[in-house]
Amino acid sequence: MTVDLAFVGAGGIAQWQHFDNLAALDDARIVGICDVDSETAESAADRFDAPAFSDHHDLYEETDPDAVFVCLPPFAHDDQEIAAAERGYDLFVEKPLALSAETAREIETAIEDNDVLAQVGYDWRYSAGVERASEILSGRDIGYVDGYWWGGVAGGEDHWWRHAEKSGGQVVEQATHVYDTVRHLAGDVERVAAAGSHRLADEVDFSDATSATMTHENGAISHVSTTCAAEDDKHGLEVVADGATLEVTEQSVSGVVDGEAVDEKFDRNPYAAEVESFVDAVASGDGAGLRSPYADARRTFELTLAVNESIEDGEPVEL
């Protein structure tokens, strides 16, 4: 079966990863491209010999795909997912899901009511490093996880990423990958207390450094730090578990397991792995193998919103 795919949003991650990765699959075909920027839509559409659209309703009506990739900035989510779900189209939705929990929950309801598959682009779950860490930690009690996303300011001058009202800030838009991986390894969070500062990066209007401490439902604790004022990039986690102490990135796992040193490195494109998994699920109608279903991703999204709430109010937040 060839899976027909439509895109809502043709810039950013679509251009950087998804188009190339899908073009490499024999059983995937892009049948339509929608973007509010006509040049972006037409350029992508020309590549795939597909029609271009500026309105997603027209895209759905004229192409009738099997599934839709929604690759939008957080502020741009409206009824794109709901309209697709109501037509029975499976969904691949890029993170973050929106700007508000209410919007994400409405989308989740539409997905459930229309019984469509929905995967979210938390590619770390498809990385070889996180996959190997999950294997090592399986069956072990985790006591502590320390995650970090340090880097610079994204986008050019006045880019939407730099404004909290459009991006949600670094925690919601970018470091969400780390928060999701912390949940993936250590389980759901029941309480978070966070603090933020804004002393270094004048280009943004949100905290340029944050620190969040979390208590998990199973009793584990974790911490995530972020900054967009670093001179170099550093993304990963450190884990202390029963018989295992690990440092984990997307492409590596190192540490000590049951008294033995571990140092493994990998070379897998997690973005390619996640879209291949999604296409296979659409073709088979079986979503059991999807590692980041929408309902689970919504919990990560609400965790990042809770971090921002705790920073703003100066109080812990119960989830």
294-313 and 101-113 helices, crossing angle to 10°: 170
Q: Report the pLDDT value the prediction gives residue 116, as an integer from 0 to 100.
A: 98
For residue 66, give its domain range.
3-122+272-291
Convert the pLDDT of each residue in 6-65 to its tens digit.
999 999 999 999 999 999 999 999 999 999 999 999 999 999 999 999 999 999 999 999
Paired residues of 248 in beta bridges: 237, 253
Paired residues of 318 in beta bridges: 191
**Residues 255, 167 within the same domain:** yes
**Residues 75, 112 within the same domain:** yes
**Residues 213, 105 within the same domain:** no
Convert 80-116 to b/e letters by CB count within 10 Å (16 or more is b). Answer: bbbbbbeeebbbbbbbbbbbeeebbbbbbebbeebeb
Mean pLDDT per block of 10 residues along the chain (319 residues) reads 97 97 98 97 98 98 98 98 98 98 98 98 98 98 98 95 98 98 98 98 98 98 98 97 98 98 98 98 98 98 98 98
| pTM greater than the 0.85 cutoff | yes
Residue type, 207: S
Q: Report the pLDDT value the prediction gives residue 319, as an integer from 0 to 100.
A: 97
**CATH (domain of 46):** 3.40.50.720
**Residues 115, 49 within the same domain:** yes
**Residues 240, 312 within the same domain:** yes
Q: Report the pLDDT value the prediction gives residue 203, as an integer from 0 to 100.
A: 97
**Residues 181, 262 within the same domain:** yes
Spatial strand order of the sheet with 260-265 comes to 260-265, 252-257, 244-249, 234-241, 142-150, 221-227, 209-216, 189-197, 317-318
Q: Report the pLDDT value the prediction gives residue 79, as an integer from 0 to 100.
A: 98
**Residues 25, 169 within the same domain:** no
**Residues 106, 77 within the same domain:** yes
**Residues 17, 67 within the same domain:** yes
**Residues 81, 160 within the same domain:** no
| Helix (H), strand (E), coil (C) string for the chain | CCEEEEEECCCHHHHHHHHHHHHCCCCEEEEEEECCCHHHHHHHHHHCCCCEECCHHHHHHHHCCCEEEECCCHHHCCCHHHHHHHCCCEEEECCCCCCCHHHHHHHHHHHHHCCCCEEECCHHHHCHHHHHHHHHHCCCCEEEEEEEEECCCCCCCCCHHHCHHHHCCHHHHCCHHHHHHHHHHHCCEEEEEEEEECCCCCCCCCCCEEEEEEEECCCCEEEEEEECCCCCCEEEEEEEECCEEEEEECCEEEEEECCEEEEEECCCCHHHHHHHHHHHHHHHCCCCCCCCEHHHHHHHHHHHHHHHHHHHHCCCEEC
**Residues 153, 231 within the same domain:** yes
Count of domains for the chain: 2
**Residues 144, 247 within the same domain:** yes
